[in-house]
Amino acid sequence: MSRAGGLARQIEARLDAIQDPCSVAMRDPMGLVEMGLVEHIAVADEGAVTVTLCLTDTSCVHFNGIAAYIRDALMPLDGVSSVRIAHTLETIWTDDRIRRRA
């Protein structure tokens, strides 16, 4: 396994450990990955990580809080030098993006 591949898996695991606030409010807590909110993860050679989210609503009031949780979860990882969180306006979240765990 490459170092980048291992780091990508660690990042995805950390992202899925962060619960989506809306799913928590609906009493069906899901991580960001399971909920289908993680659109893309990019890791540059120097350790700069960019996480692009697909939000359930373009005016999501939780975006800043989620972004802070992501930074807090990823910055301690060995190999991560910075974390940038963006959101896409090109993809609309629908519930078929949910990845239920087996």
Instruction: Extract the tokens encoding 72.
Output: 């807090």
Q: Is the dihedral of CA 24, 97, 94, 83 positive or negative?
A: positive
Q: What is the pLDDT of residue 58?
A: 81
Per-residue model confidence as pLDDT tens for the chain (102 residues): 456 678 999 999 999 999 999 999 999 999 999 999 999 999 998 999 999 999 988 888 999 999 999 999 999 999 999 999 999 989 889 989 998 765
Q: What is the pLDDT of residue 1?
A: 46
Q: What is the pLDDT of residue 35?
A: 95
Q: Report how far Cα 9 is from the mean position of its chain's Cα atoms.
A: 12
Decide which of 3.30.70.360, 3.20.20.140, 3.30.300.130, 3.30.365.10 is the CATH code for 3-94.
3.30.300.130
Question: What would the DSSP string read from start to end of 80-91?
Answer: --EEEEEE-SSS
pTM for this predicted structure: 0.90
